[in-house]
C-alpha cells in the first residue's frame, strides 16, 4: 500500500525520519546532502540555510530611518482616520484606536522590510499614543466651531422673532454705547504667539486620554482600548528572529526533538 505524502514545506512542525540520510529539506524538498541545518526547528539543506541567512534583513541606521518615516506616515493617517470619524459621526468611540495601532505597526514593519526589535516597538507605542491623543485637537476645534454656529443661529432666530427695535431706542442705545466706549479704557488682551498656542494645543491633546477620566466610566473604557491598540502596535513590531542551527553531519542520526507549535 502506497503512503501519500504532502510535498508542501511545513515549518510549523519538525518531522524527522527514523533512517539517517533519508531526510529531505522542507524548503526545496531535495535530499539534505552531507550536511544539514535546522531553521526554526525545521530541517533545511545547506544551500537553503545559507540562502535564508543571506536574505535575512539586517537592522541598521537606514532601516531605522525608513521605519520611523513610514511609522510617522502611518500615525498621521491614523490621526486623520480617528479625527474624521469623530467629526463626521459626532461620536468618540475608542475602538478606532485598534485600527490606529494596526496601521502604525504595519507601517513600521513595511518601512523596515520586516525588521523588528525593541526600538521599533518603543517608536510604535509613542506614535500610536500620539496619533490617538492628538485627534482630540481637531475634534475639539470642530465641536467649538459647530457650537458657535448654533449660538449665532439661535441669536438670529431670537432677533427675528422679537422684532427690530424702534429707531428712537436704537439711537439711544448707540449714543450710550459711544459714551461707554469713550469713558472705558480699551481692554488690553495678552498676546499669545502662534508657537505658544500650538504648544498648548499639543499638550492638551497629549493629555486628553487622561483628562477624559473626568467621566470615570467613559474615560476608563477609552483608556483601556487605547492600551489594547498600543499592544497591537507593540506585537507587530516585535523582532522576528530566524534561528539557524548547524551544520550537522547527515551520517549520524538527528537527535529527537519535540514537535513545535
Domain ranges of the chain: 20-56+242-261, 62-140+199-236
pTM: 0.62
Write the pLDDT tens digit of every residue in 117-150: 899 999 999 999 999 988 888 877 877 777 777 7
Say how far apart CA 78 and CA 34 lie, in whole Å.
52
Residue 18 has pLDDT above 50, yes or no: no
What angle is formed at CA 58 by the lines to CA 54 and CA 64, rounded to 5 degrees?
160
Burial class (CB in 10 A: 0-12, 13-18, 19+), 182: exposed
Residue 43 has pLDDT above 60, yes or no: yes
pLDDT given at position 243: 66
Reported as a pLDDT band with limits 50, 70 and 90, residue 38 is confident
Say how far apart CA 248 and CA 17 lie, in whole Å.
15
In angstroms, what CA-CA distances link 47 with 15, 27, 53? 19, 10, 10
Residue with cell 540520510: 21
Write the pLDDT tens digit of every residue in 59-109: 788 989 999 999 999 999 999 998 888 888 766 667 888 999 999 999 999
pLDDT given at position 2: 43
Say how far apart CA 29 and CA 15 lie, in whole Å.
13
pLDDT given at position 160: 67
pLDDT given at position 6: 47
Closest CA to 235 of 109, 113, 138: 109
Amino acid at each position: 500500500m502506497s503512503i501519500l505524502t504532502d510535498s508542501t514545506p511545513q515549518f510549523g512542525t519538525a518531522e524527522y525520519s527514523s533512517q539517517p540520510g533519508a531526510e529531505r529539506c522542507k524548503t526545496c524538498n531535495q535530499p539534505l546532502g552531507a550536511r544539514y541545518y535546522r531553521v526554526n526547528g525545521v530541517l533545511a539543506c545547506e544551500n537553503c540555510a545559507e540562502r535564508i541567512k543571506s536574505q535575512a534583513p539586517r537592522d541598521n541606521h537606514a532601516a531605522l530611518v525608513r521605519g520611523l518615516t513610514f511609522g510617522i506616515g502611518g500615525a498621521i493617517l491614523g490621526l486623520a482616520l480617528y479625527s474624521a470619524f469623530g467629526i463626521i459621526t459626532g461620536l468618540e468611540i475608542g475602538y478606532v484606536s485598534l485600527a490606529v495601532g494596526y496601521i502604525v505597526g504595519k507601517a513600521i514593519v513595511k518601512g523596515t522590510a520586516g525588521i523588528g526589535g525593541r526600538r521599533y516597538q518603543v517608536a510604535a507605542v509613542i506614535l500610536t499614543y500620539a496619533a490617538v491623543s492628538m485627534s482630540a485637537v481637531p475634534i475639539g476645534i470642530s465641536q467649538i466651531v459647530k457650537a458657535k454656529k448654533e449660538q449665532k443661529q439661535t441669536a438670529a432666530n431670537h432677533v427675528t422673532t422679537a422684532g427690530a427695535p424702534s429707531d428712537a431706542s436704537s439711537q439711544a442705545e448707540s449714543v450710550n454705547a459711544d459714551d461707554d466706549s469713550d469713558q472705558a479704557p480699551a481692554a488690553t488682551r495678552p498676546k499669545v504667539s502662534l508657537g505658544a498656542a500650538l504648544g498648548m494645543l499639543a499638550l492638551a491633546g497629549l493629555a486628553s486620554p487622561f483628562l477624559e477620566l473626568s467621566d470615570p466610566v467613559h474615560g476608563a473604557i477609552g483608556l483601556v482600548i487605547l492600551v489594547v491598540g498600543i499592544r497591537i502596535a507593540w506585537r507587530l513590531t516585535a523582532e522576528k528572529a530566524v534561528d539557524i542551527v548547524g551544520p550537522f553531519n547527515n551520517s549520524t542520526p538527528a537527535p529527537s526533538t519535540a514537535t513545535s507549535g
